[in-house]
Amino acid sequence: MTETVNHFINGKIVAGTSGRFGDVFNPATGERSRRVALADAGEVDVAVKAASAAFPDWAATPPLTRARVLFRFRELLDRHADEFARIVTDEHGKVLSDAKGSVQRGLEVVEFACGIPHLMKGEYSDNITAGMDLYSIRQPLGVCAGITPFNFPAMVPMWMFPMAIACGNTFILKPSEKDPSCPLRLAELMLEAGAPAGVLNVVNGDKEAVDTLLTDPRVAAVSFVGSTPIARYVFSTGSVNGKRVQALGGAKNHMVVMPDADIEVAAEALMGAAYGSAGERCMAISVAVPVTDRTANELIEAMVPKIKKLKVGPSTDNASEMGPLVTREHRDKVKGYVDLGVKEGASLVVDGRGFSVPGQPNGFFLGGSLFDKVRADMRIYKEEIFGPVLSVVRAKNFEEALALPSDHEYGNGVAIFTRNGDVARNFTHKVNCGMVGINVPIPVPLSFHSFGGWKNSIFGDMNQHGPEGVRFYTRIKTVTARWREGVNPRADFGMPLMK
* CA–CA separation, 282 and 225 (whole Å): 9
DSSP string, 60-100: HS-HHHHHHHHHHHHHHHHHTHHHHHHHHHHHH---HHHHH
Bridge partners, 14 (sequence order):
7
20 φ, ψ (degrees, to nearest 5): -105, 140
* 144 part of the active site: no
- CA distances (Å), 137 to each of 75, 80, 377, in order? 30, 36, 50
127: number of Cβ within 10 Å: 10
346 contacts 391 by C-beta, under 8 angstroms: yes
Pairing of strands 12-14, 7-9: antiparallel
**Residue among 114, 167, 182, 282 flagged as catalytic:** 282
- CA distances (Å), 53 to each of 48, 147, 258, in order? 8, 21, 57
175 contacts 153 by C-beta, under 8 angstroms: yes
35 contacts 19 by C-beta, under 8 angstroms: no
Note the residue count of the chain. Answer: 499
356 contacts 335 by C-beta, under 8 angstroms: no
Pairing of strands 285-290, 347-350: unpaired
Query: What are the residue numbers of the active site?
Result: 282
